[in-house]
A and B are shown apart, each in its own frame.
Chain A
Amino acid sequence: MTTQTLAGVPVERDAEGFLTDPSLWSEAVAVAIAAEEGITLTERHWEVVRFMRHAYETTGAGPNVRLLAKASGVSVRELYALFPRGPAKTAAKIAGIPKPHGCI
């Protein structure tokens, strides 16, 4: 657990860099976390990030890669092209929500 300032906001992050309080998230925070991951957010990235955020707000958890592809309409291939270090994990981190759990 570490506290740091992202886009001018003090936030707490877990060992893997996920925000511990999703309510402190903003689009500026998303841009800062994406930059750490080596990603410059395009409109297509934003679609996925907003989808993750929406899924968390409505279901309490972000989906895994397979369900993300099914529900968002962005293919598995494209998801990995957008987020090479793991789409569900990286998009969740950028969206300020907890890491999706489950094995599939």
Chain B
Amino acid sequence: MDAPITKVSIVVSKGSLEGVYPALIMANGARAEGMEANLFFTFFGLDAINAKRIEHVKVAAVGNPGMHVASLLGVLPGMSAIATRVMERKMEENDIPGLPEFIELVADAGCGLYGCRASADLFGFTEADLVPQVKAIITVGEFYALSAGGQIIFT
């Protein structure tokens, strides 16, 4: 039998709801299996741990073939908000937590949450702008160091 995976470090680079959830589900599932898990939020993925933006992460209505809505309609004002409401209602029906609760869940489960130094500098964020569950803003070198011995997954 192959050796089991005991540690994962997941990079979240997208700031849409559908960009963030798979990473959170994978991190939470890793902890539930007793694996070590880290989440590294970079570029627009930082929105998921930004205290002011966490409540406003939305489904992409444009450039998203999975939406099955013509991109021409997707550009209409409010389309992204509507798509997000539909998605959030479906997730609630399926007992999937909302983003702030999910971030709290993975942090309480012992998953390490980190912001990307280069992205934080680019957008002008400091740790004070991020939700309290974030352990630190770290460099890519520090990310590799804390990922040592595990698998890295980019989303």
Chain A residues in the interface with B (C-beta under 8 A): 64-67, 75-77, 80, 84-90, 103-104
Contact present for A104 and B109 (CB under 8 Å): no
On chain B, the residues within 8 Å of A88 by CB distance are 32
Q: Is B29 an interface residue (CB 8 A)?
A: yes
From A65, A85, A89, A104, residue with most partner B Cβ within 10 Å: A104
On chain A, the residues within 8 Å of B96 by CB distance are 104
A88-B109 Cα distance, complex, nearest whole Å: 12
Asked if A89 meets B32 with Cβ closer than 8 Å, knowing A67-B95, A104-B95, A104-B97, the reply is yes
Q: Which residue of B lies closest to A100 (CB)?
A: B32
Q: Which residue of A lies closest to B25 (CB)?
A: A103
21 contacts between A and B (CB under 8 A): A65-B28, A65-B31, A65-B109, A66-B95, A67-B95, A75-B108, A76-B108, A76-B109, A80-B110, A86-B31, A86-B32, A86-B33, A86-B34, A87-B32, A88-B32, A89-B34, A103-B29, A104-B25, A104-B29, A104-B96, A104-B97
Q: Which residue of A lies closest to B101 (CB)?
A: A66
Chain B residues in the interface with A (C-beta under 8 A): 25, 28-29, 31-34, 95-97, 105, 108-110
Q: For residue A30, give the distance in angstroms from its CB to the closest CB of chain B.
A: 18
Q: For residue B24, give the distance in angstroms from its CB to the closest CB of chain A.
A: 9
| Further contacts, 18 of them, CB under 8 A, given A76-B109, A104-B96 | A65-B28, A65-B31, A65-B109, A66-B95, A66-B97, A66-B105, A67-B95, A77-B108, A80-B110, A86-B32, A86-B33, A87-B32, A88-B32, A89-B32, A103-B25, A103-B29, A104-B95, A104-B97
* Number of inter-chain CB pairs below 8 Å: 38
From B28, B32, B108, B109, residue with most partner A Cβ within 10 Å: B32
On chain B, the residues within 8 Å of A65 by CB distance are 28, 31-32, 109
Asked if A90 meets B25 with Cβ closer than 8 Å, knowing A65-B109, A66-B97, A80-B109, the reply is no
> What are the 8 tightest A-B residue pairs by CB atom distance, in nearest-first order?
A85-B34, A76-B108, A86-B34, A77-B108, A86-B32, A80-B110, A86-B33, A65-B32
On chain B, the residues within 8 Å of A67 by CB distance are 95
Per a CB cutoff under 8 Å, which of A80, A89, A103 touches B108? A80
